């Protein structure tokens, strides 16, 4: 690997020496590498004085600058009139990330920074091209939510994100120690703590057979971890209904949400489950309607806590919910990046935000009369 990089560095120096000045995009295309890789190479060569970078171009250290490049070279980057520009790459602009983006916009506006957003639609192949585009637009730092595997990134997945040429904060993504990128600042929702909080609340209401119904997502492994820990701590049976994590996020595998929901409904009918945590709100609403079709009611026959808290108002029964701090997540991500830009050598920050439990009708805690006996036969 070292020889390959060294050979590429020599080719970069050769091309720049021949042409005097060349744009980064042209250089990356000629070498057949991504702009991310090229910018990393250029940064390494510049750090030892072999190249000079000016706003999207590289030149030989002794080459004369154009009038425009001379002005850009004299201008401090951070002090430009437009302020800092932050690039943000997220899987979607709606659902879970709608409020994350709103919080990021609020924090950027409050500090005078500009926020440029790119959306991958959960397509991993779009991550790096969109990052390249943002880097080409001159962003000062990046907030990234890569479309990695739901059960955690592999070495190959996270390696390209480990040495980008600008500061990076991971949002709702974690890199295990020992893998490239473990040194990056990150801010995440503590979904495991959220699931444990839900189990604790339902157990305090007297429920002893608490299920978890969760669809495949990057959230699911953390929900499972918190659920398993909490049910074990309370001495409760493990009743997790989740699809395998092997399929791509957003795709329902053969043993997916539908079959897991059917299994759960069968046990509820037989009186073997009296409460459940359901991810997501939409799935909780679907479950309520299917329970009603069976002549069962919420919370009398089964208490529910949904995970997300975005659709309570459209449910037949107002959903008690575990609400991740999405807006605070977006604000915190921007503030983490601004801190890293101001203090490049600061210690790595890893922030976990615990979801809030919002108690409404579906868990039974708000009922004025005592919990009614089940009508199951």
**Ramachandran area for residue 196 (φ above 0: left; ψ -120 to 50: alpha; else beta):** alpha
- Reading the block at residue 128, the tokens are 């790096």
Given this model, what pLDDT does residue 153 score? 87
- Reading the block at residue 159, the tokens are 């390696």
Given this model, what pLDDT does residue 377 score? 33
Using the predicted structure, report yes or no on whether residue 174 has a pLDDT greater than 90: yes
Given this model, what pLDDT does residue 321 score? 95
- Reading the block at residue 353, the tokens are 């935000």
d(CA 209, CA 199): 10
Q: How many C-beta neighbours within 10 Å does residue 274 have? A: 22
The answer to whether 143 and 171 have CB atoms below 8 angstroms apart is yes
> Over the chain, what is the mean pLDDT?
84
pLDDT digits (tens, 9 = 90+) for 243-296: 776 545 555 554 578 888 999 999 999 999 999 999 999 999 999 999 999 999
Identify the band that residue 209 occupies on the pLDDT scale cut at 50, 70 and 90.
very high
pTM over 0.85: no
Positive/negative CA dihedral, 144, 150, 320, 92? positive
Identify the band that residue 88 occupies on the pLDDT scale cut at 50, 70 and 90.
very high
pLDDT digits (tens, 9 = 90+) for 315-325: 889 999 999 99
pLDDT digits (tens, 9 = 90+) for 122-140: 888 999 999 999 999 999 9
């Amino acid at each position: 690997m070292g020889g390959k990089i060294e050979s590429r560095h020599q080719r970069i120096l050769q091309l720049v020496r021949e042409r005097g000045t060349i744009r980064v995009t042209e250089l990356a295309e000629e070498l057949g590498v991504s702009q991310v890789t090229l910018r990393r190479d250029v940064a390494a060569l510049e750090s030892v004085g072999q190249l000079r970078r000016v706003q999207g171009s590289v030149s030989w250290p002794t080459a004369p600058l154009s009038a425009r490049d001379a002005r850009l070279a004299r201008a401090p980057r951070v002090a430009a009139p437009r302020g800092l520009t932050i690039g943000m790459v997220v899987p979607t602009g709606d659902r879970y990330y709608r409020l994350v983006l709103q919080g990021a916009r609020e924090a950027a506006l409050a500090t005078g920074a500009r926020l440029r957003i790119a959306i991958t639609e959960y397509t991993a192949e779009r991550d790096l091209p969109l990052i390249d585009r943002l880097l080409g637009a001159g962003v000062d730092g990046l907030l990234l939510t890569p479309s990695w595997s739901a059960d955690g990134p592999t070495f190959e997945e996270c390696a390209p994100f480990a040495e980008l040429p600008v500061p990076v904060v991971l949002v709702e993504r974690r890199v295990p120690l020992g893998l490239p990128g473990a040194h990056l600042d990150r801010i995440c929702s503590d979904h495991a703590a959220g699931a444990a909080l839900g189990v604790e609340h339902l157990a305090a209401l007297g429920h002893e057979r608490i299920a978890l119904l969760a669809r495949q997502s990057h959230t699911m492994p953390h929900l499972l971890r918190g659920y398993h820990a909490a049910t074990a701590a309370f001495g409760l049976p493990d009743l997790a209904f989740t699809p395998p994590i092997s399929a791509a996020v957003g795709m329902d595998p053969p043993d997916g949400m539908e079959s897991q929901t059917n299994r759960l409904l069968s046990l509820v009918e037989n009186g073997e489950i009296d409460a459940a945590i359901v991810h997501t709100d939409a799935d909780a609403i679907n479950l309520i309607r299917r329970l009603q079709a069976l002549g069962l009611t919420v919370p009398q026959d089964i208490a529910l806590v949904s995970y997300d808290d975005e659709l309570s108002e459209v449910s037949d029964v107002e959903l008690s919910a575990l609400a991740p701090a999405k807006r605070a997540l977006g604000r915190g991500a921007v503030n983490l990046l601004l801190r890293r830009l101001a203090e490049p050598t600061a210690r790595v920050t890893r922030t976990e935000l615990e979801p809030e439990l919002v108690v409404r009708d579906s868990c039974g805690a708000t009922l004025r009369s005592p919990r009614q006996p089940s009508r199951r036969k």
